[in-house]
Amino acid sequence: MSSSCETSVSALVARARRGDPAILGRLMERYQAYLKLLAETQLDRKLRAKIDASDVVQHTFLEAFRDFPQFRGGTEGELTAWLRQILSRNLAQELRRYQGTMRRDVRLERSLDQELDASSLALDRGLVARGNSPSREAMRRENAVILADVLNKLPKDYREVILLRHIRNMPIAEVALEMDRSVDAVRHLWMRALAKLRIELGTSP
């Protein structure tokens, strides 16, 4: 499964390098939900009222289209790492705008880079069947992208509670504060969200 996906991504990258904008568009579409979810991991409720993650992702795609000739990788992992770097710069710019300063902050960009990488690794590890076989390890990058696509289809409150608990690794009490709900309500919401996610992933008993 991973091998065919990787080959497909590599083939699309090769075709896009030959100057086919439609193919490059198809390639970028694969990572829309993935990048949006990563952007949302950096925005609490207050920031989400000011910064639209979808707008940041669209800006990221515009820059990726413009700068694609500079991309030297060929695998899905290399492509997603490159897109995360662009996303982190754009998030940093939006955060600076919100904070009232447009001066570039390299430390903020590095911090966002690290946090986005950590969030992507959490997607890889956290919510799929675990295992240490080489084939399982080879699938991890693909799983992160697939999981983001599935999470994007869930109801908003389901997606948010999973993001807060599993990607941002927040305790239930902090999730309750963030979502403005009681601890019991969040716990029940979390359990329903995980059950729905398992059904969507085809991993329910």
CATH code of 12's domain: 1.10.1740.10
* Per-residue confidence (pLDDT) for residue 94, from 0 to 100: 85
Residue type at position 49: A
Check whether residue 135 and residue 190 sit in a common domain: no
Residues 137 and 55 in one domain: yes
Residues 129 and 33 in one domain: yes
Domain shared by 130 and 189, yes or no: no
At residue 204, the pLDDT reads 45
Q: Write out the two tokens for 132.
A: 């240490």
Q: What is the DSSP string of 127-194?
A: SS----SHHHHHTHHHHHHHHHHHHHHS-HHHHHHHIIIIIS---HHHHHHHHTS-HHHHHHHHHHHH
Query: pTM higher than 0.85, yes or no?
Result: no
Assess whether 13 and 92 both reside in one domain: yes
Per-residue model confidence (pLDDT) at position 55: 93
The low-confidence residues of the chain, meaning pLDDT below 50, are 1-4, 128-141, 204-205
Q: Does one domain contain both 35 and 7? A: yes
The enclosing domain of 193 has a CATH number of 1.10.10.10
Query: In terms of domains, do 159 and 102 share one?
Result: no
Are residues 51 and 16 part of one domain? yes
* Segment 153-190, tens digit of pLDDT: 999 999 999 988 888 888 999 999 999 999 999 999 99
pLDDT score at 107 = 56
